[in-house]
Structure 1
Amino acid sequence: MYQVLLADDEPSVLESMKEHIDWEQYGTQVAYTALTGKQAYDILTTSTPDIAILDIRMPGYSGLELSRIISQNKLKTQVIIVSGYAEFSYAQKAIQYGVLGYCLKPVEYDEIASLLLKAVRNLQKQTQANSSDDFLEAIENDDIDKITAFLKRQQYEYDVYYPLASISEHPLGIHDTLIFRIGPSQYGYLSASPVDASMLHTLSAQESVHGIGYQETPITAVQLRTALYRCLAMAYQFFIDADCRLCCHYHDFASLPFMSRLQSALDFGDKPRICDLLHALMKEDSRGNFSIHAAQQLYNMIISNHKIVENSQDYYIYNYKQLVHEYDSFQDMIQSLIQIVEASCEQNPGQPDLSNSYFLKIMKYINSCYTENITLKDVANVVNLNPNYISQVFKKTTGTTFSHYLTNLRIDTAKKLLTTTNTSINDVSIQAGFNDYFYFLKTFKKYTGKTPSEFRNGV
């Protein structure tokens, strides 16, 4: 039962609301009543009721003052204001403080009931979002106790599971599965029984579905982290092969012989050999051994070689979503890498000096768009200059790399959202510009020394 506080300086109003509203119907109960703002304040700060229905004018504290306190202290309490004054300024203030509704006296009980239902739905969504955040954090930390505790709370505790992942605009309509969002257009699923492959094939043909990865063999909760990462990689197999929108085979180890040859060429700085190896990958039969995980490794192996790219951190690919945003396909990525390696063989003719106005234009773009999925290439396009040159100038001018500057902006935004809002951590990561929740968890802890939930809770 959600606990409700009723606060009004008229005892008859309190009794009337208690009597005429079917509180249990909405899963609520009147747990507290107050005749003064001071009494209401004491209850709010010591007991934190789920819902507060407050009179706008009471001795001690007004309903608006209490709403401001609730908002400033990020209390979970949903607020409904009751007022005998139809003044726009009051309603405007109420909206500013995040009040759910503003009802005029004499009270219309149907109106209160409607707002009560809205408050309950908000609380349910909040609980579900926070619970999902905890589950994803437990998966990332491989915390088996928390994973099993979550599954038990969801009444989805089984001996084995069949994991899936989808890259889709919306969750897949698969019945009897536990569904959780991993990031923008990325979803994870757990099924207690094998999912019908023909049904998945039909789903993968939908326009809103880019790819589905699933595992045919069952796993236990202990294996969830590894299995989910594998399914996510398989869901991105369309990046390697545009026709592969449904995948149940992981190709990670098949690329190792090629990677070994490439690493040898990189160690010796043999750029012609590197280009030959990359050209060979342009052939369709050579790409079958690659997963998107291997593609990401391949890209970063070349980019991180200081003989090929300066300030390689600015070009580094941190997750699959970023790779797919940067390149249309595996073939497109390989073609770009060939151009990068070939360009590093040529004498750099130099670039024109970057004027102060151009640099200010770059900084304005970054500071305005950092919550979007921007890359160094996007920044370079703003001033029609080479990305490598922009990277060098940015480091020289600011003392830090573009990548580090961008990440700092996003982390600072995430910290602000965590401490000033009740937004779910998954949504915080998206609003701050991170397109992969697991990458956000790793990066946030790297930069702050705490997980997002620890930071929010002041641990």
Structure 2
Amino acid sequence: MDKIRTIIVDDEARMRRGIERIVRSYGENWDIVGTFSNGIEVIEFLEENETWVDLLITDVKMPEMDGLTLMKEIKSLNPDNDFSSIIVSGYDDFQFLQTAIREGAFDYILKPIKRSDFFEVLQKLENDIDEKRRKSLKWRDLIKQADKLALTKQTQLLSEAVSSEPEDIATMYWTKDFPDGLYQALFVSVDEFPSRTSEYSNEDWGAFAYATENIIDEVIMEYKNSKHQQLGWWWREGGLHFWVLLFSSSKENNDFFVTGDTFSRKLKSCLNKYTPFSFSVAQSNPFEDLCIMPEMKKQLHSLIRMRMIYGGNQVYSPRLIKELKDTEENNWFAANNMKGFANKLTSMLGRSDTSKIEKELSDLFKKIKKWRSPMEIQYALEYLMIYMFKVNLEDTESGIVLSDLGYILQAIKVESNINELENLVKQTFIQVHKKQLAFQQDPTLTPIMKTKKWINENLSQKITLQDISDYVYMNPNYFCQYFKKQTGKTVFDYITDLRLETAKELLQEQDLKVAEIARLIGYQDTKYFSRLFKQRWGSLPSEFKKKYKTML
């Protein structure tokens, strides 16, 4: 048992020393951290040392601050600290004594003090504190277990959100179980070295994965413990590829981005040090709405592809891409003027006629078709697509993001028909070009008006965040921030509110079954719809319908 931290207060020095001797003689479980002549000295001591006490032994009547006031002051200093009090009282202090007991004093000792009476009180108090500590320890263990279960559940939800197809945004109710604040998503991926893979057995790869998981877990724990209200989750995507989600209660985007960058570099350094591989990290910009997690997968998977140009063992983010120095001057890209062509072509997007862009690409492929090296063709097209991705990623307001970059690069790698490759590249460029044009036009409707109009027209359909952001030509993260700033609601809340308002109207105006109404407003799961309806309107849809009919 930990020692019981004790403070003794009495304005009579002889009485203080006598109480101290009795307490010390009782046993070694008592740690007397100070003796004082009045309550003000006690408060000053506690404030200066930022310490706590388990037991206050105090006289009732003292000059400047009596014992009852001292008890209240100590409680106000640290409301979460459960301490006990023993009141020392004279026979004429009975009214004070009654008040002290009501204020929560554990027991009292009457003057003159008898050692046997004092020992009896200390024994009861020691047992009481021991029982409280055991209960407190058990309670803390239960809280830890509950937190662990909650963390496991949250991690599973995040993993499913990233690995599965985008859900209807209004069914992502699980996001409400996460705190409000800023988030950053990180994709941590091993830099593959095919020439070395044969050196390791399956057992080796299992050990590497286990070591990597432990390293990520330790760095996240350090992050969570470094500052109040910082949280982190991680899960494995497969192989030596992992996801990390960081949370901060801070609202400062720039500060949190720097924190995330520091975390990424620390994690990368530890992985380099304790595994035989290098790792790259794709880091998102801070965001508030977890509904964009499915889109984050596409963006960060595309972002990690930057290592094909700039090399591995780096941290890639939308902001840091601008700071990366070009490293291709001395390789074959410069010889074929690919950098200059990529710059020219991307500058035409959203500005030139579609026919001119198609002609530039046709001229390029006439030259490419004359190359003898399939590897050069692959690298040239990969460079072109990554360059366009980089340029569009920097434009966060229009938010034209080539989220399917991973798919396109894979197609370039495996496609053997040069004409098919030409069609793929042309289609991609024209698609982005049209999005750029659309973003600059249509002044009659604001993005919010367009969004609400589209949601109303598609309320009965599956609605994903990507569907909406594609329609208004915005990056999903930027769109979520813009929508909340303009409407005061998240996209999730707006769609849910609209669907439940519509359901209420349908129940009042139409003679339809609950399942039919659920489908009409976009919910395939009737039970889920009913639960949401009751949370909003206080009764199940069937009950609401009956009550409404009886009122007519």
Q: Which has the higher helix share?
A: 2
TM-score w.r.t. the length of structure 2 is 0.28
Rg: which structure is higher? Answer: 2
